[in-house]
């Protein structure tokens, strides 16, 4: 087959495909390291998100790229394993906030160090990663603004 006369595939220049594929190839390295430590990707995402402070289940599901029912199941297991605890919000009793439990705090500290080390390896291989991160943050912020209803 003559590849020089073959037109490029659509997905090879499609932004959404490129973003997904780049995320997949870089994350796979780190996910393998997580699995070697006995930590699933959803548990890692919850721990990493909660390292910034308590969150609602809805906010966690969004940050961790999970549907809310799946997030609830992950949190049930994590609570059973002593990694997180759920508490009613002091100001709005309808809300439940998820906090790191002491065991989760210990685990996340180690995992964040591993994530930072992995990111440093990636950045060393790809010096333009800082600019890419800035661009992705801007893309996320602009898309998030489009989703919000007017006046919100």
What pLDDT, on the 0 to 100 scale, is given for residue 6?
Answer: 82
pLDDT digits (tens, 9 = 90+) for 43-84: 999 999 999 999 999 999 999 999 999 999 999 999 999 999
**Which H, E and C letters describe the chain, residue by residue?**
CCCCCCCCCHHHCCHHHHHHHHHHHHHHHHHHHHHHCCCCHHHHHHHHHHCCCCEEHHHHHHHCCCCHHHHHHHHHHHHHCCCEEEEECCCCCCCEEEEECHHHHHHHHHHHHHHHHHHHHHHHHCCCHHHHHHHHHHHHHHHHHHHCCCCC
What pLDDT, on the 0 to 100 scale, is given for residue 3?
Answer: 59
């Amino acid at each position: 087959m003559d590849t020089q006369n073959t037109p490029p595939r659509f997905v090879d220049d499609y932004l959404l495909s490129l973003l997904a594929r780049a995320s997949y190839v870089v994350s796979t390295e780190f996910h393998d390291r997580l699995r070697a430590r006995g930590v699933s990707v959803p548990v890692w995402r919850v721990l990493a998100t909660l390292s910034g402070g308590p969150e609602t289940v809805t906010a966690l599901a969004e940050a961790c790229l999970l549907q809310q029912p799946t997030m609830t199941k992950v949190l049930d297991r994590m609570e059973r394993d002593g990694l997180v605890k759920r508490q009613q919000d002091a100001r709005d009793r309808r809300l439940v906030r998820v906090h790191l439990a002491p065991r989760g705090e210990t685990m996340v500290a180690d995992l964040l160090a591993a994530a930072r080390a992995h990111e440093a390896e990636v950045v060393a291989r790809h010096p333009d990663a800082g600019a890419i991160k800035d661009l992705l943050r801007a893309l996320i912020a602009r898309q998030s603004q489009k989703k919000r209803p007017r006046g919100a």
